[in-house]
Amino acid sequence: MHYKQKHVYVGIDLHKETHTAVVIDCWNKKLAEVQIANRPTAFSTLLEKVRRAVRGLQPVFGLEDVGGYGRSLAVFLLEKGQVVKEVNAALSYAQRISNPTTQKSDSWDAFCVACVLLARFAGIAPVRFSSAGKGKDQKSRQGNRTLHGIFYFLAVQQVQVAKCSQLPRNPVMYQYYQKKLSEGKTKMQALVCVMRKLVNIVYRMMRNRTEYVMPALPEKVAV
């Protein structure tokens, strides 16, 4: 079994009164959903239900707010020897709005947190370094490097220009890459954006069991 297949990812949407957890595997398949009251006596129920759902795999818990509503739960999970990661709220928000159909529910929010957690595991989600209210996002050097390498080389191929025709191999990805460069991102930052887009595409292909169909583009930019 590959290393990434030994883990499942538990995204938790935190609120004052309740917490909603969604469990996904490395293929972004939803395995379980659990909702509990936000009180210490209910935390054991969450952990027990997650353990039953994952069938011996290692859960990795992702929480957006480990200093607020999620503090008590984070402490409980750490004391129980669980792996707990803080998820950047800006990244999970971007994951929410990337869906073509607007959704808003605790379950969907928790699912998006879990997806970002998986992206972090692959080393694709950016890491923010800040001080005194100022900071910037930088490339993550964490996560599964094998999985990261696969998406890196795939992204490089998608934005290449053919030597003979001087046309992009994948006009959609090339156009997206150039858009990120025009926004002021470095070449590496723009490439990471392509990698994350590829993660979303691969996930949807696997979820819907469909092949990739390239969107139509104007003739002048098509291969």
Alpha-carbon span 119 to 20, nearest angstrom: 20
Model confidence, pTM: 0.59
**Cα angle, residue 91 at apex, residues 152 and 213 outer, rounded to 5°:** 50
Q: What is the pLDDT of residues 14-38, one digit of tens each?
A: 888 999 999 998 777 889 999 999 9
The amino acid present at 24, given as its one-letter code, is I
- Tell me the three state secondary structure of residue 89: helix
Every domain of the chain and the residues it spans = 3-121, 143-221
* Cβ neighbours for 197, distance < 8 A, ≥ 6 positions apart: 173, 176
Look at residue 206 in the predicted model and tell me its pLDDT: 65
Q: What is the CATH number of domain 3-121?
A: 3.30.420.40
pLDDT of residue 131: 40
Query: Could you read off the pLDDT of 61-106 as tens digits, one per residue?
Result: 988 876 688 889 999 999 999 998 888 776 777 666 666 555 567 8
